[in-house]
Amino acid sequence: MKTFKLPNEKTVRIVYIVLLSIAALLIVLILIGTIAGLVRQDNAEPLIKFSGAPAKSKKISQSEDDIRVFSGLGRLRIPLSNSSVLLLSIAFPYSASDVTFTEELAAKISEFRTIAASYFSALPEESIIQLDEDAAKLEILRRFNANLRLGQIKTLYFSDMLVIDAGL
């Protein structure tokens, strides 16, 4: 049979005191760091700089006139009433500094795709042959803006507008 030797009571007490001291030291360090973080100014320099790290971090700021083009709708393949297919890409400018409006646009991509598809697929056959692009842009723009709550789209761009005739 194996016999186990129990540690000396003095050794157990020393280990207990050491572990308790380490825990107390960690608690004190966390409290000091928290108080120092609350007292420091927002624009203060870092207390510790690691080699290779830049001294100051540069914040990327978006100016008020940071205009970008939203092309998140992708290429639409819209079946038309005369069995043809319309390939269309819709894009529009928006202000990247308006974060809430940008998020709303991203959330409404599927609704915008449905709006555009329903508009073009409901056109009569004779309207498709002689499509008034400006009138189509205005109507889709009106429908898009009716669906938005946090901002408005001012201009629409159609690119890659191509009708593939099914009769060929």
For the beta carbon of residue 117, count every other beta carbon within 10 angstroms.
Answer: 16
Residue 37: what residue type? G
The pLDDT tens digits of the residues spanning 29-40 come to: 999 989 988 888
Is 53's pLDDT higher than 70?
Answer: no
Contact between residue 94 and residue 66 where contact means Cβ atoms under 8 Å apart: no
Residue 106: pLDDT band (50, 70, 90) is very high
Domains of the chain: 67-164 (3.30.479.30)
Residue 26: the pLDDT is: 96
Residue 119: the pLDDT is: 92
Measured between alpha carbons, how far is residue 157 from residues 30, 68, 134 in Å? 56, 13, 10
Residue 1: pLDDT band (50, 70, 90) is low
Among 18-22, 52-56, 155-159, the range with the most confident prediction by mean pLDDT is: 18-22
Nearest to 159 by CA among 43, 70, 82: 70
Q: Which residue has the higher pLDDT, 155 or 166?
A: 155
